[in-house]
Amino acid sequence: MITALVAGLPQDTLAQVPGVSEVCADRPSATGISPFAAAPQSAVAGAASSDRPASDLNCIDLFSTNRGAEATGVIELRRPWSPYGVTVTADGRHRHALTAWIRGLPNPLALGPYTAFVAWATPLALDPVVRLGEVTNGLNQLGEVAFNKYLVWITAEESGDVTERSGPLILRGRSPSSRMGAHDLMALAPSAEEGVKHTGPLSPNMDEQMVNPGNSWVLPPTYAGIPMLPGVMSVRPSVSPMALKTDASALPEAIPSEVIRLPHGGTLDLEAGFVRKTVGNRELAMLAFNQQIPGPLLEVTEATRIFVNFRNETPMPTAIHWHGLRLDNRYDGVPGVTQDPVLPGETFQYQLYFPDPGIYWYHPHHREDVQQELGLAGNMVVESAESGYYNTVAHEEVVMLDDLLLGPEGFVPFGDESANYMLMGRFGNVFLTNGEPEYGLEVTAGDVVRFHFTNASNTRTFNLSFRPTDTDTGTPLPIKVVGSDVSRFERESLAESIVLAPAERYTVEVLFPEGGTWSLANRVQGINHRQGLFLEEETILGRVTVSGATPLSTNESVSGAHAFEMLRTHEDVVTDIDKYRHLFDAPPDLELVMSLKVDDLPMVVEQSMNLDWVYFNPVEWTGTMPVMNWATSGNEVSWILRDSATGAENNDIDWRFQVGDVVRVRVKNDRSAFHAMQHPLHIHGQRFLVLEQNGVRNENMVWKDTVLLPAGSTTDILLELTNPGSWMVHCHIAEHLESGMKFVFDVEGTLE
């Protein structure tokens, strides 16, 4: 219907078509003029306007060749639906669904022996060239593209059915990512040539070290294959390194996580203290709950209430936040909000209630950039009282993912007066899966395994897949996505990877069809900023060894493999959400903007970062600029949550609700910020639905407590307020939280 309407519109009214006017029309383009409006680029200096997503990250302008005459167009890059906050391939390439609005195409017969126009996409190397489909004036749905950098061509062809391009080029455009170029630091950031001169190679293993005599900082590991210039290497944090226990020899040895099953009214004694843990060839002083890394795995049944007697045997004040639980506010574990910090040697009793089945976790909420990184985190599994809540499987695994930032001897120091790594967060260089450098699982051919994944890292977003170990080109196993933070999805779906931002959880099922070894791989696309190139990175986090080669038909009754291809609809979730569907088209009640303020950054950092304005990766998957990131602290960086209506920021935001309120909140991740990046937004004590991103409706919902918001995106959530008390909202990148990216809202009233 829309296509028919658009095709009949006069060309000069095309910019008013719904969709193009909201995102890609009436905006500056890469060349300064939109195909649908004459607005100078200086009007917004490359930023998105305040009432639409970041158009320069989400749109491609189409410009005509000589043969195209007056033809012009624009393509919106929409995110195809996925269960996650971003949609990527198993290799980490962002998937884009292309919607094109075109006008002014001439009669193809006037150009030669041609009858149709066809759209194509190709990476910058011009191979392969992928057919997108026949196009006409008006609205065109062009399918998906998953290249890192690419061009879009529209050509005149003999037939709309051709599979290879041979006709003349009429329109052409390039992806926003293709504008990312190599940094000419010596020309554009002259301070990069200045500073301490270093002779000899800088290795990622820190074989060479540089020490600032003023505050004894040691240069952190650099990134393999991306050398930094002397001016970059000479910067140092403005805060002091934190003095922590480094001699692990006399500490008790860390032990693996133990499963603790607690009945209603049960009690757990939980102590936080230092332990000795060997990671690779390093003996580390780490923190642990009950000497366990991860902490004890708690198993309870839905509607259970338990007691936790916590003792703090660390040298730092702390508290425990029970992430995702809709529990009594006084036990939420936020120092200064719900309780006083638990001082060294002191105790606190938590009372926990578990209203929702699923996977949850617990961690500190006081300098969590340090305490969580050092090992204080554990999982909680809440089993449903309902029989058959999950599918029948052969194995059920709880998997906690983390990364540590280590030098040759131990942890790269943390900032003392403030966290450092404040700009992008502290990316680790050593991965831990359930506390070990490599995860292992043994199953039988035909088994279905249910995995509950939790991301406990400070800042890293993972993209996980299961791949054949003996080949680099093997197809990843299909993954059935069942649930996330606070519930199951309305409908199960199949995916080829699992994207987890910090603090997110996903429950998935995987069928291992035949004997062999499968790698649990994290594959992402980082950016080499020096060269302006995408950088593919793969880390093997573990292996699943599959014994036997039994055909599935003989193993069905044991493994549940016969049901794997069936995608259930969870009617209870659908019914639970139904009562809110009448609100899905309502305007937003509140709006938050995520942004950044910087002050007194080292000159080389400011000059170098300013080169990135033309493109921001929707997700910073990996820390390819570690020294510049390391040198930033709360003295220079303030991450911001801003109430658009009042202008109030962070703790000055004053939101008040009543029990039973349901509000639509629009969250805009400011593309024009000094350094736009993704933020995992966490809301304590309540649950919410993700309604849409960049105006595209979410068609398969799940109750969440944390949502990944890509750079430059606009995301609408529906927040259900059922739990009275004072609750925190914050970014779950630990260093962003420490910079002040948080506020507290109040819910008044009583539970019915």
Q: What is the pLDDT of residues 711-723, one digit of tens each?
A: 999 999 999 999 9
Quote the pLDDT of residue 42: 28
Quote the pLDDT of residue 408: 85
pLDDT value at 38 more than 70: no
Quote the pLDDT of residue 160: 94
Q: CA 536, CA 484: separation in Å to the nearest integer?
A: 27
Residue 163 Cα distances to 118, 136, 599, angstroms: 10, 17, 54
- 284 and 147: one domain? no
- Stretch 699-726: mean pLDDT: 97
Quote the pLDDT of residue 183: 64
Q: How confident is the model at residue 47 (pLDDT cuts 50, 70, 90)?
A: very low
Q: Tell whether 21 is covered by a domain.
A: yes
Q: Tell whether 68 is covered by a domain.
A: yes
Q: Of 100, 119, 86, 116, whose CA–CA distance to 23 is shortest?
A: 100
pLDDT value at 612 more than 60: no
Chain-centroid distance of CA 579 in Å reads 29
pLDDT value at 45 more than 80: no
Q: Tell whether 236 is covered by a domain.
A: no
- Helix (H), strand (E) at residue 63: strand 59-64
- 139 and 273: one domain? no
pLDDT value at 13 more than 50: no
- Helix (H), strand (E) at residue 360: strand 358-364
Which burial class, exposed, middle or buried, applies to 471 when counting CB atoms under 10 A from its CB (0-12, 13-18, 19+)? Answer: exposed
Domain boundary among 179, 204, 239: 179
pLDDT 10s digits, 542-569: 999 999 876 554 444 445 555 898 999 9
Other beta carbons within 10 angstroms of residue 335's beta carbon come to: 17
Contact 676, 57 (CB under 8 A): no
Q: Tell whether 706 is covered by a domain.
A: yes
Q: Of 276, 352, 423, whose CA–CA distance to 736 is shortest?
A: 423
Q: Tell whether 536 is covered by a domain.
A: no
Q: Tell whether 458 is covered by a domain.
A: no
In degrees and rounded to multiples of 5, residue 134 shows phi and psi of -70, 145
Q: How confident is the model at residue 321 (pLDDT cuts 50, 70, 90)?
A: very high
- For the ranges 33-37, 315-319, 453-457, 549-553, the lowest mean pLDDT is seen at 33-37
pLDDT value at 641 more than 60: yes
- 40 and 152: one domain? yes
pLDDT 10s digits, 370-386: 999 999 999 999 999 99
DSSP string computed for 226-261: ----HHHHT---SSPBP------TTSPBPB---EEE
- 726 and 592: one domain? yes
- Stretch 487-499: mean pLDDT: 97
Domain boundary among 123, 145, 179: 179
* Cross-strand partners of 687: 720
- 30 and 166: one domain? yes
Q: CA 174, CA 137: separation in Å to the nearest integer?
A: 20
% helix, strand, coil for the chain, step of 5: 15, 40, 50
pTM: 0.90
Which burial class, exposed, middle or buried, applies to 568 when counting CB atoms under 10 A from its CB (0-12, 13-18, 19+)? Answer: middle
What range does the domain containing 272 cover? Answer: 248-389
Domain boundary among 121, 149, 179: 179
- Stretch 413-437: mean pLDDT: 96
pLDDT value at 34 more than 50: no
- For the ranges 148-152, 472-476, 569-573, the lowest mean pLDDT is seen at 472-476
- 169 and 263: one domain? no
Tokens of 700: 């398969």
Tokens of 703: 């109750």
pLDDT value at 199 more than 90: no
- 29 and 145: one domain? yes
- 286 and 381: one domain? yes
Chain-centroid distance of CA 699 in Å reads 20
Q: How confident is the model at residue 532 (pLDDT cuts 50, 70, 90)?
A: confident
- 165 and 252: one domain? no
Contact 298, 377 (CB under 8 A): no
Q: How confident is the model at residue 530 (pLDDT cuts 50, 70, 90)?
A: confident
Q: Of 175, 240, 228, 230, whose CA–CA distance to 203 is shortest?
A: 228
pLDDT value at 537 more than 70: yes
Q: Tell whether 478 is covered by a domain.
A: no
Q: Tell whether 540 is covered by a domain.
A: no
- Stretch 722-731: mean pLDDT: 98
- 594 and 682: one domain? yes
Domain count of the fold of the chain: 3
CATH number at 722 reads 2.60.40.420
pLDDT 10s digits, 573-611: 999 999 999 999 999 999 999 999 999 888 877 777 765
Q: CA 745, CA 655: separation in Å to the nearest integer?
A: 5
Contact 446, 549 (CB under 8 A): no
